Amino acid sequence: MSSKLNITVMLGGPSAEREVSLRTGAAVASALRSRGHTVHELDPKGPGQWTLPVGTEVVFLALHGTYGEDGTVQRELEAMRVPYTGCDPEASRLAFDKVLTKQKCVACGAPTAKFMTFQSADAQWPDGWQTPVVLKPVRQGSSVGLQFVDSPAEFPAKLAEALKFDTGVLMEERIIGRETTVGILAGRALPVVEVRPKQGSYDYKNKYTAGATEYFCPADFDATTTARIQDAAYAAFNAIGGRDYARVDVMVRANGEPIVLEVNTLPGMTETSLLPKAAAAGGLSYAELCEMMVDLAVRRGTQPH
């Protein structure tokens, strides 16, 4: 990117992931300033409760969770005809809803775990299911509200807990294996990152506590398994209609079979986040990655719709 731009970074916002978003946005703003751009930071309180700084040429979305990642802010920016980073409103809406994502994966043949959904805390343990399973609020990110169920007796209390975070809860077979994530950037899958929590699972606490989790990139898989993981991630990204970039979480069974968990359309972008780690393994510095995301948005913004 040759020209210097007037960029607004949208960060913070009203979701449960506000603190993470503030960290992401601050890191992105600093990186873009280091490349010579004029950068404003905007913390939107919610739909319609903000105005873009005068002269904004492109918006970098550093929001996470409800409002920022579910297609709402994307629709607002579309109405303003301002280019912005990442996926469009429909892909954002689909990816933020774990059930819709899984339905799209099933339809296009991307491998995903067996699942069902619940809307009521009075639901009974379903026939034909074995533990362990995972319960996830349908529309939350960053492992917010995640519950592990190791016996049917735990199910009622854990379902009630997960329902505190959304009106719907996804239950899926818990995949035992290695946990990986794959960054997608500008039409290609980046090197695979393996995530190994030192204790327990990769939950909100282990995700955001320094030193609680080890990361390996590129992950230590043979070439065939690596390609299978990347192909599964890319298939899920295409299933939701993704564009520019995203991060896809994939479990890998002991036999090398990849199982897609979910697609993150606005992944964390602190310097220690997983997409920047994968980009670094692919030869891109953090500042170059941020600038590339902006560049993809600007180039798209100049094309007629």
Q: What is the pLDDT of residues 109-140, one digit of tens each?
A: 999 999 999 999 999 999 999 999 999 999 87
Q: Confidence band (pLDDT; 50, 70, 90) for 143?
A: confident
- For residue 207, give Cα distances in angstroms to 116, 278, 289: 26, 16, 21
Domain 6-86+286-301 top-level CATH class:
alpha beta
33 among known catalytic residues: no
Distance between CA atoms of residues 170 and 100, nearest Å = 11
Tokens representing 243 are 């564009």
Considering 57, 249, 291, 295, which one is annotated as catalytic? 249
247 among known catalytic residues: yes
Predicted confidence (pLDDT) at residue 142 exceeds the cutoff of 70: no
- In the chain, where are the structural domains located? 6-86+286-301, 94-113+175-265, 115-173
Q: Confidence band (pLDDT; 50, 70, 90) for 302?
A: low
Considering 15, 21, 264, 273, which one is annotated as catalytic? 264
Considering 25, 68, 71, 268, which one is annotated as catalytic? 268
Tokens representing 256 are 């090398």
pLDDT digits (tens, 9 = 90+) for 66-116: 899 999 999 999 999 999 999 999 999 999 999 999 999 999 999 999 999
249 among known catalytic residues: yes
pLDDT digits (tens, 9 = 90+) for 253-297: 999 999 999 999 999 999 889 999 999 999 999 999 999 999 999
Fold for the domain defined by 115-173: Dna Ligase; domain 1 (3.30.1490)
Give the pairing of strands 38-42 and 6-10.
parallel
**Mean per-residue pLDDT, 5-28:** 95
Tokens representing 41 are 């930071």
17 among known catalytic residues: yes
- Judge whether 62 and 7 are in contact, CB under 8 Å: no
Give the per-residue pLDDT at 144.
80
- For residue 299, give Cα distances in angstroms to 57, 84, 88, 186, 251: 12, 10, 15, 12, 34
Helical pair 72-80 and 89-96, crossing angle rounded to 10 deg:
180
Number of H helices, E strands in the chain: 9, 13
- Judge whether 133 and 176 are in contact, CB under 8 Å: no
Give the pairing of strands 193-197 and 188-189.
unpaired
Give the per-residue pLDDT at 203.
64
Map tokens 């818990």 to a residue. Answer: 174
Considering 208, 234, 245, 286, which one is annotated as catalytic? 208
Which CATH superfamily, name and number, covers 94-113+175-265?
ATP-grasp fold, B domain (3.30.470.20)
Nearest to 178 by CA among 254, 273, 110, 262: 254
Tokens representing 62 are 């550093």
Predicted confidence (pLDDT) at residue 304 exceeds the cutoff of 60: no
Residues 39-49, buried b or exposed e (16+ Cβ, 10 A)?
bbbbbbeeeee
128: left (phi over 0), alpha (psi -120 to 50) or beta: left
Give the per-residue pLDDT at 16.
84
Considering 12, 17, 41, 286, which one is annotated as catalytic? 17
Distance between CA atoms of residues 9 and 291, nearest Å = 12
Residues 13, 135, 277, 177: what is their CA dihedral angle, to the nearest 10 degrees? 180
Write down the pTM of the prediction: 0.92
DSSP structural state of residue 154 = G
- For residue 280, give Cα distances in angstroms to 144, 247, 274, 275: 27, 14, 10, 9
Considering 70, 166, 244, 262, which one is annotated as catalytic? 262
Considering 21, 142, 206, 273, which one is annotated as catalytic? 142
- Judge whether 204 and 288 are in contact, CB under 8 Å: no
206 among known catalytic residues: no
Helices (H), the chain: 18-34, 72-80, 89-96, 98-108, 155-162, 204-208, 223-239, 274-281, 286-301
Q: Which residues contact 31 (CB under 8 A, 6 or more apart)?
A: 286, 287, 290, 291
pLDDT digits (tens, 9 = 90+) for 186-227: 999 999 999 998 877 666 666 667 777 899 999 999 999 999
Give the per-residue pLDDT at 272.
83
DSSP bridge pairs for 149: 133
